[in-house]
Structure 1
């Protein structure tokens, strides 16, 4: 669940960042994808850490 939330949050923040910089549709999609991948990796690491800490 953390990974999915991180992916969605990253995509939204990436698109907002591109829009703030005046980007077009391609920029919005690219920033959204890159942020989603980055946030997804961090979310995966957090998920692994939480799983290992609770077991």
Structure 2
């Protein structure tokens, strides 16, 4: 569940970055989607790592 949370945070971050750089609506959407995908992927990898190292296997 950490992946979608990171993806949403990445989307918001991307939109804010595009606005700060003076982008129009489609620029904000493109940045948001790009950052959302990148952050979501990192979130999935963190979730896998946490499940691998914190959950006892036996």
- Output the TM-score relative to the length of structure 1: 0.96
Tell me the number of residue pairs that the alignment of Structure 1 and Structure 2 aligns: 55
Cα RMSD (Å):
0.5
- Output the TM-score relative to the length of structure 2: 0.92
Structure ID, larger Rg: 2
Structure number with higher helix proportion: 1
- Give 5+ residue unaligned stretches, structure 2: none
Q: Which runs of 4+ in 1 moved over 2 A?
A: none
